[in-house]
């Protein structure tokens, strides 16, 4: 089975530009998570979806960040406008709903905002 | 709110030795799950082992085992016969049972296995 697929793997852009990160969860998984990893703050949950519906977005840092899940096989995390402090590795993870099922992570997108 | 603490920022051992990584957590929940994830230089987050709080028996996965002390809120990871490929960041994580499936991570321990 294919794992969680994220694109792009790396993104370098100038501040003020719109950035869109993409994620395809594992087929059959109905929960999807977006995490951000930085040296200062470690791994933080930004938002999570269950059955395509956002359940907890309390980790989304500002209105510049938005996430969508239009169907069970695709999600996006968008930053508009981007700022240098948004530079981080962004992970997408998916799992089956039951809590004892582990989250499977994608390879992450390393985002650099110049 | 739950917190997870990994008190060892870095550790280093020789190949074939046994190493133990520490993790403590704080929660008022009675039922929850604990995980160890490995992040090698390739950046992947790989599940190493998981423990369900209602199970008294410590989880094991080949060379990896945990020492789960519920009363002490401690969840250490033991790696036996360490291998060069075990070199990675290791993250301890907590998830409460039911409700939001939110993983709360510790800050990580950088483990280096020396030849």
Of A31, A105, A110, nearest to B44 by CB-CB distance is: A105
Residues of chain A with pLDDT under 70: 1, 98-100
Of A31, A33, A108, nearest to B43 by CB-CB distance is: A108
pLDDT, average across residues B56-77: 95
- The token pair that represents B83 in the structure block: 């291998």
Instruction: Name the 3-class secondary structure at B57.
Output: coil
Of B96, B98, B100, nearest to A56 by CB-CB distance is: B100
Q: Residue B100: pLDDT above 70?
A: no
Q: Residue B1: pLDDT above 90?
A: no
* Tens digits of residue pLDDT in A21-30: 999 999 999 9
Confidence tier at B15 by pLDDT (50, 70, 90): very high
Q: How high is the pLDDT of residue B12?
A: 97
pLDDT, average across residues B23-40: 94
Nearest chain A Cα distance for residue B38, angstroms = 11
Nearest CA in chain A to B44: A107
The answer to whether the CB atoms of A42 and B44 lie below 8 A apart is no
Nearest CA in chain A to B41: A107
The answer to whether the CB atoms of A31 and B102 lie below 8 A apart is no
- Name which of A21, A13, A8, A18 is nearest A74 in CA terms: A21
Q: How high is the pLDDT of residue B99?
A: 66
The answer to whether the CB atoms of A103 and B43 lie below 8 A apart is no
The answer to whether the CB atoms of A91 and B107 lie below 8 A apart is no
* Tens digits of residue pLDDT in A69-82: 999 999 999 999 99
- Chain mean position to CA B84: 18
Report the alpha-carbon distance of residue B88 to residue A26 in Å, rounded: 25
């Amino acid at each position: 089975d294919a794992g969680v697929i994220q694109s792009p793997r790396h993104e370098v852009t100038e501040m003020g530009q719109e950035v869109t990160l993409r994620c395809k969860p594992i087929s059959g998984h109905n929960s999807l998570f977006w995490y951000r990893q930085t040296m200062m703050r470690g791994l933080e949950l930004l938002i999570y979806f269950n059955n395509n519906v956002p359940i907890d977005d309390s980790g989304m840092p500002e209105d510049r960040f938005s996430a969508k899940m239009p169907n069970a096989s695709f999600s996006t995390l968008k930053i508009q406008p981007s700022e240098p402090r948004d530079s981080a590795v962004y992970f997408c993870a998916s799992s089956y709903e039951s809590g004892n099922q582990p989250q499977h992570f994608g390879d992450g997108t390393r985002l650099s905002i110049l | 709110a739950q917190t997870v603490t990994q008190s060892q920022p870095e550790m280093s051992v020789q190949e074939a030795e046994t190493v133990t990584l520490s993790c403590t957590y704080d929660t008022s929940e009675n039922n929850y799950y604990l995980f160890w994830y490995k992040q090698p230089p390739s950046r992947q987050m790989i599940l190493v082992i998981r423990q369900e709080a209602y199970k008294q028996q410590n989880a094991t996965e080949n060379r990896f085992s945990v020492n789960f002390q519920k009363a002490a809120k401690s969840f250490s990871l033991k790696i036996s016969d360490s291998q060069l490929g075990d070199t990675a960041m290791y993250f301890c994580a907590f998830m409460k049972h039911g409700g939001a499936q939110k993983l709360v991570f510790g800050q990580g321990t950088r483990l280096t296995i020396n030849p």
